Amino acid sequence: MVPTTAAPESIPSAPTELLRFVHEPVMVTEVLEALLPERGGPYWDLTLGAGGHLGRFLDVAPPGTLAIGVDGDPDALIRAAHHLRVAGHAVTVDGPVRLVHDDIGALGASTTVGALLAAGLRPRAVLGDFGLSSPQIEDASRGFSYRHSGPLDMRMDPSRGEPASTFLEHIGQKALERLIGELGEERYAGRIARTIKESLPILTTDALCAVVENAVGGHRDGKHHPARRTFQALRIAVNDELGRIERALAWAIASAAPGARIATITFHSGEDRVVKDVFRDAVRDGRASHVVLASRPQKAGKPIDCSDDEAERNPRARSAKLRVIEVADPDLTPSDPKGYRRGPRASRA
């Protein structure tokens, strides 16, 4: 994949099939309070998706605020460009709203991102809304969901890496058992891994569902599909999601302007653990401080959960957790001998 800053003419018009899926951005109120859009940009959305958070940020930011949306999924760029244009936010190659096709796990090596930083566009607000978007889940051709029949692909960027069907061919049984157990938190990881390896090749989502159901037999959670955790584990592994999150946050902390806010939304304990560790290390060595929101006060360093009201309106948001830090100014904020910033450990939005 060649990273590009997308000119409007380079992004195809969104076909009907890409627009039939609705994605509601989660924890919008909390994200806007955390990222202070009234200060303007540059705002960097590292997980553009359908452009929901980016559009909401621009709706309340000063006119002309610069926003950069990054995504490795070409379909997401098409979908986001359409929704942003409909909302009145013009997408241009050198204007206030720019879209970048790139891998967030390799932003430090991106010539496009490097050029934007060299042009003075260091982030003042960064968002990473990690995990799958509703359009990706509902599009059967992407192979993410056990609910839809399709090829067993699961790649966030179909132009990079190997699909899940090939991944299963290459991974050993013990390694597969470990990732299903750790990334999927699946108690029957051993028998599932063994049955998968005995059933290769597995080329479709339906076939994988059948294999998992055969492996667990009557051991099922009545509320959830028996393959749910296996699908989750494979998706995380195929896309190196935890590694990409860690590298993206390291880039954001190193690249952001002093005083910049960095917010993350996670939906899985593994994702949240990575964010917690990266943020904790940044706070300890004086590169950042935790942010406590006035509307949702919590102990510094603890995540903010999705509200009950939002979870009721949007069940897919129920496991969402928000964490926020503010990047320190090394010239103004020396570290104490223990590696913590002097003064208040948490600033209030």
Structure tokens given for 180: 């299903």
Residues 226 and 247 placed together within one structural domain of the fold: no
**Residue 5: strand pairing partners:** 100
Residues 10 and 92 occupy one common structural domain? yes
d(CA 292, CA 282): 16
Q: What is the pLDDT of residues 237-246, one digit of tens each?
A: 999 999 999 9
Contact call for residues 128 and 274 (beta carbons, < 8 A): no
Cα 170 to its chain centre, rounded Å, is: 26
Residue 22 is predicted with a pLDDT of: 59
Residue among 292, 312, 295, 294 nearest 303 (CA): 292
Can you give the C-alpha Rg of the chain in angstroms? 21
Strand partners, 341: 335
Q: Which of 203, 206, 212 is nearest to 233 (CA)?
A: 212
Instruction: Report whether pLDDT(1) > 60.
Output: no
User: Distance (Å, rounded) from C-alpha 234 to C-alpha 254?
Assistant: 30
Res. 8 pLDDT band, cuts 50 70 90: very low
Give residue 195's pLDDT: 98
Least confident interval from 33-42, 238-247, 338-347: 338-347
State the pLDDT confidence band at 178, using cuts at 50, 70 and 90: very high
> Which of 4-18, 137-151, 159-173, 213-227 has the least mean pLDDT?
4-18
Q: Which of 238, 267, 284 is the last residue of a domain?
A: 238
Q: Best-predicted range by mean pLDDT among 14-18, 27-31, 336-340?
A: 27-31
CATH number at residue 227: 1.10.150.170
pLDDT at 4 over 90: no
DSSP 143-206: ---TTS--BS---SSTTSS--HHHHHHHS-HHHHHHHHHHHS--TTHHHHHHHHHHT----BHH
Asked if residue 282 has pLDDT above 80, the reply is yes
152 assigned to some structural domain: no
Domain boundary among the residues 191, 207, 238 is at 238
The pLDDT value recorded for residue 316 is 86
Same domain for 121 and 177, yes or no, is: no
Average pLDDT, the chain: 89
Pick from 238, 271, 300: which residue ends a domain?
238
From 85, 42, 37, select the one nearest 61 (Cα to Cα): 37
Tell me whether residue 141 is in a domain.
no
Least confident of 14-23, 30-39, 303-312, 337-346: 337-346
Q: What is the CATH number of the domain that holds 87?
A: 3.40.50.150
For residue 9, pLDDT beyond 90: no
Structure tokens at 319: 């496991």
Q: How high is the pLDDT of residue 2?
A: 36
Q: What domain count does the chain have?
A: 2
Whole-number pLDDT of residue 96: 94
Residue 90 confidence (pLDDT):
84
Packed helices 205-216 and 228-238: angle between N→C axes, nearest 10 degrees: 130
List beta partners, residue 321.
266, 305
For residues 64 and 222, give the distance between their C-alpha atoms in angstroms, rounded to a whole number. Answer: 51
Answer yes or no: do 270 and 342 share one domain.
yes
**pLDDT tens-place string over residues 56-115:** 999 999 999 999 999 999 999 999 999 999 999 989 888 899 999 999 999 999 999 999
In this prediction, residue 16 carries a pLDDT of 53
pLDDT in tens, 289-319: 999 999 998 899 999 999 999 999 999 899 9
Q: Report how far apart, in Å, the C-alpha atoms of 118 and of each of 48, 111, 115, 249, 302 are.
A: 22, 10, 5, 19, 34
Percent of the chain with pLDDT over 90: 76
Banded pLDDT at 17 (limits 50, 70, 90): low
257 within some domain: yes
Task: Kindly report the pTM of this predicted structure.
Answer: 0.87
Angle in degrees, CA 72, 291, 279, rounded to 5? 55
Cα angle 318-152-268, degrees, rounded to a multiple of 5 = 25
Map residue 128 onto helix, strand or coil: strand
Residues 211, 119, single domain; the answer is no
102 and 180 share a domain?
A: no
225-267 tens-digit pLDDT: 999 999 999 999 999 999 999 999 999 999 999 999 999 999 9
Range of the domain at 247: 4-135+241-348
